Every structure is written in structure tokens, then in C-alpha cells.
């Protein structure tokens, strides 16, 4: 058995080394093939830009390009397409939780199911594309155990200043263990229109997310996997064999703005001139969103539930929660007709949000309303010192008195021609009542009603950034922290908790190599309440070589991630949440993937072998207790972009 494993390791390593040697040898061929990187890169006219959230992002120049290079083409799964590491379950598309502590402002009412936040997209995550030509991009990946992921991106201009777009994602996988499958879909449609004089504009969106998962509660005996006593993962015993969870999130929204004064003023009967002063614009935003979560099973009396609440219905579990929210925002901002490609010299906005909604579970229902004032400011001084801040206050019959205050300073060093980087400092203060989930919940397996005080989060960030190198520290001080204890029930501590994070991120390009790394050190002074890995790191190394007189690009690469041992939170399927445990540590395992990517014109193709270290016979690859990660496996993917 050991000889077979070592042969597999040797074959895979030799294949990758062969690709790397071939790429290096190509790099040493005559200069007629090798094209040096120019100092200034001309942007491809077929590249597509996008902005998110609001028209203000477009005006302020907060634009991004849809990625078309090879460096991240293998990062298909939404969890891998981030610098943050996640703990997750045994398959793509399942519940997950970041390995870094970061407080979240609930905006007055929590409308997100956070263990699935990377797989759903609502109004805040929607991208409004700005294509120069009609665009269609299709991306497809397939892996072991019939795993498939599909993405379709579409955008075009129907008429002058009228744009439409669509973004679709599918994850479908049966999973390596019993009752371990996923079938997730996420889609949104967008529209955008401006009048010819840019005085009025409107954007609109519709989104629909469906997460359908089979919840097996993890494997019964971890030692069966850790000792590889059963190589057929489908016959390893699991805790739940007929439990399923469905999460649906859908909604629509629009935004419209109107600039108060015309761009030009009449100087005389035949001459006009641009106004030196504008009164700004008024904006109206409307958002509607509804969420529904259903958990059902035919065996409510399974041993898995014995340590928890008494079961109400012993024959069938059908738990349902439903939330519905309508938000109307009205605000004024100082923005006019001018569009910015860098930080705006002065930007001020203020407004009010009107919210009405409904929350219900299997037994109770509640209506809510809020009136929430908000505002913000951005100031630039001599193009080197920047100040920005935001504030929001919640008022109404739900979460009244909650607020968020945020302020940031940035100081650039040197001159515009000789930039020596920038120092940054920010402070965020959040005071809010814990999510509805912690306050009241009713289901077949879990029930509680808790009167909780407001939690306070103070976050201070500071650091230095120059080009692609960034280093800094983040310090969080939390009072009245609410969490799920070892019994998977809400609990609020009156202790003051401190979490310190020191981090570094860089992307170096020596020659034809790309070296990217993210390193984090974290320490919690109450690690029995907030449990985090002390160290975590992610590294990506790639070599890029042009082929056939620049007609194609070849890139072999390797990516590794690692985090130190710690007591990772356990997962409870019946409430779709992570909770504390102190029985099993996970971590101290290197996840290593190798890949070969090829770009030919507008097509990007790759093959990848994931979890290479698993071939050594080390079966400790858990990120969540009782949920082994996937075994070593191959992936194949292609992404093809079409223009009209």
C-alpha cells in the first residue's frame, strides 16, 4: 500500500517538475520568442470594467476590471478566490467560516445567513458591467465525484447609454461521503441607463440564490478516516443520512439619481458655460429582499441530537424561518457631473433609510420598522492626505439605538512621481443588539428566547502599504460578545475580549515569476470564547511564459495554505451555524495544489491536482471537526470569452 502511495506522489511530482523545466527551457530560447515586459502596459480594449453598489461608485472612479489573466484562473470555488482562509465541510458549496475575526455591522437587521455568505449574492455584491463590446464569458470546471461548476457572464449595450447584464453561477456535486451533496445556484440580472446630459440615471437589479445541501452531520468515527481503514468514502458511517437544508434568498432593487442644476448655464442668448458650482444630486434607492431557510429530516431521534434540546416531533422535522425586508433610502450628495479617476477632493452625503420587514419561524412572527439616518464625508488635502468617515444610527421598534461609526486616515509619502507608499489608520465603533437568531429561535431540535444586551466592537487598524506590499495590525476590543456555546445555544459573556491580528500581504514579480503570500498572526485573550488559529498563511508561486510568438501563454504553478492547530468550531446542521467545542483540534496540515494553465487568445484552460500532500498517507486534513476535507483529486477547467 505504501509503495503505491509513494508511486503516486512520485508520478505527480515528476509531471509538475517536467512542466516547470519545459517552461524554464522555453524562457531561455532566442529573443524572437521572449517579449520583455514594457514599463507601461496598454489596456486591452476588450477588457470589461464594473462598479458595485451605487452610481456614486461609478462617479467616484471605484471601478474594477473583470479578471482575464491566468494567475487566478484555478480559483474557481468562491472560498479559494479570497486571501482569507476558511473552515468548511467536506464538499464544495457547504457551510463555511473565516479563520480571521472581523466584526459585522448588521445594518439594523441581519438579512444574511453568514455560513453561506460566499455562495449567495444580493444587492451589495452585484456588479454592474461597463462593456465596450457585447460580452459573453462561459467558464466550466469538473472534478472528482461528478463535481461541476459553471459560470456565465453576459453584458451588452442595447441602445445608447442603455446596458443590461447577467451573472450566473452553479455548483453541483454529490460529495465523497453519504448524504453530502450540494446543488447551489446564484443568478442576478442588471440594467443601467443615463440620459444624454448625464443629469438623470437609473440602475436596477434582480437576484435569486438557492442553496440545497444534504446535511450528514459529519462522520461518526474520525479514526476510520485518519487511519484510512476504509478507502471507499461512501461506506464510512455518518451521523445523519436523510437530513437536508435549503436556503433561498431573492429580491430586487433600483437606484435613481437627479442632479439639481444643469451642467451649463446660459451666459447670453448664444453662449453657455460650465457652472463652477453645483448643488449636488439627490438619490433614491429601493431594495426588497426575502430569505427562507428550511431544514427537514425523517429521523429526528438520531443519536446525534441527544446532547441537545428535547425533540418536539419524533416522526418528522420540518423547520422553516422566513424574513422579508423593504428598504427605501433618500439622500443628498455633493457629487455632480464630473467623474473621478482617483480620490475626490471633497465628497459629502447625508440621508435617511426607511425600513419595514417581517421575521417568522415555525412558531412566532414579528413585524418591524426603522428610521435610520446616515451620512459620510471624504476629503483630500494636497493629493497626499485623505480623510473619510461614515456614520449610521438605527431607530424604530427593532435594534433601536444601534450605530456604526467609521473613520480613516491615509498619508502618502514622497511625491507623486516618487511614491514611497502610504501610512493608513482607521477606527470603527459598532454598538448593536445581537442578531435575531441569538434572541429568539424555535425549531424541532432547538428553542430559545434570550434577552441580550447590546454588544460593542471597537476595531483599530494601522499599517503601511507600498505598491503590492502591505503590512499592518488590527486590534479588536469586544464587550458583551454573543456566541453559540458548546451546547449550540446562544450565550453572552460580560467579559471584555481582545483579539489582535498582525498581517502581511505581498505580490512580487521577479522576472517571469509571480510570488504571492498572505501571512497572519492572531491572538485572543479568551480563546475558549473566540477560538482562532494563531498562525495562517497562503502562498502562490507561478511561472509565466509566452509561446508561439505570443500567440499563447503557459503558466505552471503551485499554491499552498496552512494554519496552526486550534479548536475549530463545530457545525450544527439543524440551525445552520458553527458553535464552540473543546474536544478536537484541527490544523497543522499543508494543503498543496499544483496546476498547469494555458491561455490561447480568449480561452483559458487549466488542469489542477488538489491536496497533493494527501498522497503521503497523512489523513489529518480537517478544517471542521468530523468533516474530512476532500482527498487528492484532479480538476479540469476552461474559461472562454466571446465578443460581438
Give bridge partners of residue 365 from the DSSP assignment.
360
Whether 186 and 120 have beta carbons less than 8 Å apart is answered as: yes
Residue 506 within any structural domain of the chain: no
Distance CA 588, CA 249 (A): 36
Give the structural domain span for 178.
2-239+252-261+288-341+349-365+486-495+546-643
Whether 213 and 245 have beta carbons less than 8 Å apart is answered as: yes
Please state whether the predicted TM-score (pTM) of the whole model is above 0.75. yes
Match 430569505 to its residue by C-alpha cell.
291
Q: 166 by DSSP, 3-state: which?
A: strand
Distance CA 32, CA 28 (A): 11
What is residue 3's DSSP assignment?
A: H
Whether 149 and 77 have beta carbons less than 8 Å apart is answered as: yes
The set of cell numbers assigned to 124 is 451589495
Whether 593 and 575 have beta carbons less than 8 Å apart is answered as: no
Residue 118 within any structural domain of the chain: yes
Nearest in space to 429 (alpha carbons), one of 371, 478, 498: 478
Class of residue 32 by CB neighbours under 10 A (exposed 0-12, middle 13-18, buried 19+): exposed
Whether 343 and 378 have beta carbons less than 8 Å apart is answered as: yes
The set of cell numbers assigned to 566 is 486550534
Task: Please list, in sequence order, all residues whose beta carbon lies within 8 angstroms of the beta carbon of residue 11, skipping any fewer than 6 positions away.
Answer: none
pLDDT at 33: 31
pLDDT at 458: 98
Distance CA 585, CA 256 (A): 51
pLDDT at 269: 67
- How many domains does the chain divide into? 1
The set of cell numbers assigned to 280 is 449636488
Backbone angles phi, psi at 21, to 5 degrees: -65, -40
Distance CA 531, CA 529 (A): 6
The set of cell numbers assigned to 627 is 468533516
Backbone angles phi, psi at 441, to 5 degrees: -155, 140
The set of cell numbers assigned to 228 is 484510512
pLDDT at 556: 97
Q: 308 by DSSP, 3-state: which?
A: coil
The set of cell numbers assigned to 437 is 437568531
What is residue 48's DSSP assignment?
A: -
Give bridge partners of residue 563 from the DSSP assignment.
536
Nearest in space to 452 (alpha carbons), one of 486, 477, 479: 479
Q: Render the burial of 415-451: b for 16+ CB within 10 Å, e for the rest.
A: eeeeeeebebebebbbbbbbbbbbebbbbbbbbeeee
DSSP 498-562: EEEEEEEEEEE--TTEEEEEEEEEEEETTTTTS---SEEEEEEEEE-EEETTTTEEEEEEEEEEE
Q: 490 by DSSP, 3-state: which?
A: strand
Match 504553478 to its residue by C-alpha cell.
557
pLDDT at 531: 97
How big is the CA angle at 331 (ends 326 and 332), to the nearest 5 degrees? 165
The set of cell numbers assigned to 592 is 498543496
Pairing label, strands 264-266, 272-274: antiparallel
pLDDT at 46: 56
Nearest in space to 209 (alpha carbons), one of 166, 179, 180, 251: 251
Q: Render the burial of 171-206: b for 16+ CB within 10 Å, e for the rest.
A: bbbebbbbbbbbbbbbbbbbbbbbeeebbebbbbbb
The set of cell numbers assigned to 457 is 466592537
- Count of residues making up the chain: 644
What is residue 9's DSSP assignment?
A: H
Residues of the chain with pLDDT below 50 are: 1-45
pLDDT at 503: 97
Residue 24 within any structural domain of the chain: yes
pLDDT tens sequence across 411-433: 999 876 788 999 999 999 999 99
Amino acid at each position: 500500500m505504501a509503495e503505491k502511495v509513494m508511486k503516486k506522489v512520485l508520478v505527480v511530482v515528476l509531471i509538475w517538475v517536467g512542466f516547470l523545466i519545459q517552461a524554464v527551457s522555453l524562457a531561455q530560447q532566442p529573443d524572437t520568442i521572449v517579449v520583455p515586459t514594457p514599463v507601461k502596459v496598454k489596456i486591452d480594449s476588450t477588457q470589461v470594467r464594473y462598479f458595485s453598489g451605487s452610481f456614486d461608485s461609478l462617479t467616484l472612479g471605484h471601478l474594477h476590471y473583470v479578471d482575464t489573466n491566468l494567475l487566478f484562473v484555478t480559483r474557481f470555488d468562491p472560498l479559494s478566490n479570497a486571501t482569507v482562509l476558511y473552515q468548511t465541510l467536506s464538499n464544495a458549496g457547504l457551510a463555511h467560516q473565516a479563520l480571521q475575526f472581523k466584526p459585522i455591522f448588521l445594518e439594523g437587521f441581519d438579512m444574511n445567513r453568514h455560513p453561506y455568505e460566499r455562495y449567495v449574492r444580493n444587492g451589495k455584491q452585484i456588479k454592474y458591467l461597463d462593456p465596450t463590446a457585447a460580452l459573453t464569458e462561459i467558464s466550466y470546471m469538473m472534478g472528482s465525484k461528478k463535481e461541476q461548476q459553471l459560470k456565465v457572464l453576459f453584458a451588452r449595450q442595447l441602445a445608447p447609454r442603455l446596458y443590461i447584464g447577467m451573472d450566473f453561477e452553479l455548483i453541483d456535486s454529490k460529495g465523497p461521503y453519504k448524504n453530502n451533496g450540494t446543488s447551489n445556484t446564484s443568478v442576478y440580472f442588471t440594467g443601467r441607463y443615463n440620459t444624454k446630459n448625464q443629469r438623470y440615471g437609473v440602475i436596477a437589479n434582480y437576484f435569486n440564490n438557492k442553496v440545497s445541501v444534504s446535511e450528514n452531520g459529519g462522520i461518526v468515527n474520525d479514526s476510520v478516516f485518519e487511519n484510512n481503514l476504509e478507502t471507499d468514502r461512501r461506506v464510512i458511517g455518518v451521523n445523519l443520512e436523510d437530513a437536508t437544508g435549503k436556503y433561498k434568498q431573492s429580491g430586487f432593487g433600483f437606484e435613481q439619481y437627479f442632479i439639481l442644476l444643469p451642467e451649463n448655464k446660459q451666459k447670453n442668448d448664444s453662449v453657455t458655460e460650465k457652472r463652477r458650482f453645483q448643488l449636488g444630486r439627490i438619490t433614491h434607492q429601493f431594495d426588497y429582499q426575502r430569505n427562507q431557510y428550511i431544514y427537514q429530516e425523517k429521523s429526528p431521534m438520531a443519536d446525534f441530537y441527544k446532547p441537545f434540546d428535547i425533540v418536539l416531533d419524533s416522526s418528522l422535522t420540518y423547520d422553516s424561518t422566513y424574513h422579508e425586508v423593504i428598504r427605501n433610502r433618500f439622500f443628498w450628495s455633493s457629487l455632480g457631473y464630473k467623474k473621478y479617476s482617483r480620490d475626490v477632493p471633497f465628497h459629502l452625503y447625508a440621508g435617511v433609510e426607511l425600513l419595514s420587514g417581517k421575521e417568522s419561524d415555525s412558531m412566532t412572527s414579528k413585524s418591524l420598522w426603522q428610521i435610520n439616518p446616515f451620512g459620510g464625508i471624504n476629503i483630500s488635502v494636497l493629493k497626499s492626505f485623505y480623510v473619510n468617515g461614515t456614520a449610521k444610527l438605527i431607530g424604530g421598534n427593532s435594534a433601536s439605538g444601534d450605530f456604526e461609526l467609521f473613520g480613516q486616515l491615509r498619508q502618502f509619502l514622497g511625491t507623486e512621481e516618487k511614491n514611497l507608499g502610504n501610512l493608513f489608520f482607521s477606527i470603527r465603533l459598532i454598538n448593536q443588539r445581537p442578531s435575531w437568531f441569538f434572541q429568539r429561535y424555535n425549531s424541532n431540535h432547538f428553542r430559545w428566547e434570550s434577552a441580550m444586551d447590546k454588544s460593542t466592537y471597537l476595531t483599530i487598524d494601522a499599517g503601511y502599504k507600498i505598491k503590492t506590499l502591505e503590512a499592518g495590525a488590527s486590534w479588536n476590543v469586544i464587550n458583551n460578545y454573543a456566541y453559540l456555546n458548546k451546547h449550540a445555544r446562544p450565550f453572552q459573556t460580560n467579559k471584555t475580549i481582545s483579539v489582535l491580528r498582525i498581517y502581511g500581504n505581498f505580490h512580487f514579480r521577479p522576472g517571469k515569476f509571480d510570488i504571492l503570500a498572505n501571512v497572519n498572526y492572531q491572538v485572543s485573550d479568551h480563546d475558549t470564547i473566540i477560538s482562532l488559529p494563531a498562525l495562517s498563511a497562503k502562498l502562490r508561486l507561478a511561472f509565466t511564459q509566452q509561446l508561439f510568438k505570443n500567440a499563447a501563454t503557459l503558466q505552471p504553478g503551485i499554491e499552498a495554505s496552512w494554519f496552526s492547530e486550534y479548536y475549530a468550531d463545530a457545525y450544527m446542521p439543524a440551525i445552520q451555524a458553527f458553535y464552540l467545542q473543546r474536544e478536537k483540534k484541527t490544523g497543522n496540515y499543508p494543503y498543496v495544489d499544483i496546476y498547469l494553465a494555458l491561455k490561447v487568445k480568449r480561452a483559458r484552460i487549466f488542469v489542477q491536482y488538489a491536496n497533493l500532500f494527501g498522497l503521503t498517507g497523512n489523513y489529518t486534513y480537517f478544517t471542521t471537526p468530523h468533516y474530512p476535507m476532500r482527498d487528492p483529486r484532479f480538476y479540469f477547467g476552461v474559461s472562454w470569452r466571446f465578443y460581438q
